[in-house]
Amino acid sequence: MQYPDPRSTSAALYKRAQSVMPGGNSRTTVYQSPYPIYAESGTGCWVRDVDGTERIDFVNNYTSLLHGHADPRVNAAVTSQLARGTCFSFPTELEIQLAELLSSRLASVEALRFTNSGSEAVMMAVKAARAYTNRAKIAKCEGAYHGSYDYVEVSLETPRNLWNRDAPQSIAYSKGTPQGVLDDVIVIPFNDAASAERILLAHAHELAAVLFDPVPNRAGLVQAEPAFVRTLRDITARHGIVLIADEVITFRLGFRGAQHEFGFAADLTTLGKIIGGGFPIGAVGGRRDIMSVFDPTVAKTAAPHGGTFNANPISMVAGLTALEMMTPERFDEFNALGERTRIALREAIARSGFPAQVTGAGSLFRIHMTDREISDYRSSNPAGEEKAGLAFLNRFLLNHGFALTPTGLGALSTPMTERDVDSLATAVEGAMRAWSSSQSSGEARLANPVHR
């Protein structure tokens, strides 16, 4: 069935959803116009919708599914645990095992605590930094996404009419954000070491933390330059500021995560997505002295931290199983497929003659409908025809058997093969040619979807 089709089951489900949920959903990222496609099942790298159409899934629940859908080893571990209980008002040994595995892979993590999402992990990391330093302000990069917490949402989007200012402004993302929140967030440009240094040094005495993602998706999925990383690490170390590495997505870059790949050690690290094996999870870990703010054995815990489903045994056993399957050798093979994907996409774009490009690292990629140099949020921010091109690309791929995010982000899963990524590249070439043609003719031609 071609998307969109008002007669589809997905369209009917969306109409039902709108009567009981604002906008028809519980998650803004899955919304698309005129209606979202509803999933029925998934196996490996394939997802089947409620109308029977199957697509290769390069979204993988926004990078969280390392092994794709319904991995039999993860399912077996979860099924076994289901018979023993799903959550308790007691800890389990599984919590210790997953914490041991993560701290063994992350050299900068001496102690760790679990949460239920990456957003919660970042929130608790910020609270830990404030409790440890007794300072209130934090700094973050313009355009970088760190979850749904007022402070870290600041300047997730900056209106173009403010781009002419000397430095990025603290801009509210959600309506009603208190001015006090904006006042406590300092915004720096990504990959501009000189500007970052100037801004951070002016506020060093009042900063609790600098929050940083070395490959921020919302800022273009471009890699942090070595000079920028060194600047952040040097300034934070000199001025007693906690450097927080957001590895909720980038922990999938290698066996030891992004910090190992980029050659730095953060004071705190936030994790999520792949460490849950397809189940809700988050974690914050780092230096033992900073993490001690959560210690309930002291007379007055500096940063109390609870959560009904924190470290629940289902998420723990799923994450443990999923990560144990990824040896250093398996990560090397996985990342090699990621590099092949980016090369294949670049070659396909070149053949199409359309001025587009691909960024990314490890098993991640992102397609941009422009050939200008991309280094940060502003240079990667699409406008006008670029937005229209991305929308066309997304719909074209949906109707040719592939799922990417509306922004052009893709993530591999281990069941994928060279054949899968080469097929994607062929479809992308077709999309680029069709988009060029549609711009000339004023028509958008979309072919029928594939059925497996």
Residues 267 and 151 both lie in one domain: yes
- 304 and 337 belong to one structural domain: no
Same domain, 335 and 369: yes
79 and 175 fall within a common domain? yes
Contact 154, 373 (CB under 8 A): no
**Could you tell me if 293 and 128 are in contact, meaning their C-beta atoms sit under 8 angstroms apart?**
yes
When pLDDT is cut at 50, 70 and 90, the band that residue 299 belongs to is: confident
Same domain, yes or no: 58 and 79? no
- Residues 292 and 333 grouped into a single domain: no
Residues 56 and 84 in one domain: no
> Is the domain of 338 the same as that of 257?
no
Examine the pLDDT at 445 and tell me if it is beyond 70.
Answer: no
Over residues 109-136, the mean pLDDT reads 98
CATH of the domain at 95: 3.40.640.10
Please report the pLDDT score of residue 443 as a whole number. 59
pLDDT of 122 over the 60 cut? yes
What's the CATH code of the domain at 395?
A: 3.90.1150.10
> What's the number of domains the chain is made of?
2
Express each pLDDT in 42-101 by its tens digit: 999 999 999 999 999 999 999 999 999 999 999 999 999 999 999 999 999 999 999 999
Q: Of the candidates 275, 308, 324, which is a domain's last residue?
A: 324
**Does 333 lie in the same domain as 270?**
no
pTM listed for this prediction? 0.96
Claim to verify: residue 121 and residue 258 sit in the same structural domain: yes
Predicted confidence (pLDDT) per residue in 407-436, tens digit: 999 999 999 999 999 999 999 999 999 999
Q: Is residue 190 part of a domain?
A: yes
Would residue 1 count as lying in a domain? Answer: no
Q: Which residue has the tokens 């990314």?
A: 360
178 occurs within a structural domain: yes
Tell me, yes or no, whether 451 lies in a domain.
no
The residue from 270, 304, 324 where one domain ends is 324
- Could you tell me if 310 and 376 lie in one domain? no
pLDDT in tens, 138-187: 999 999 999 999 999 999 999 999 998 778 999 999 999 999 999 999 99
Q: Which domain holds residue 126?
A: 72-324
Q: How far is CA 385 from CA 81, 180, 240, 325, 432, in A?
A: 50, 37, 45, 43, 13
Q: How high does pLDDT run on average in the chain?
A: 96
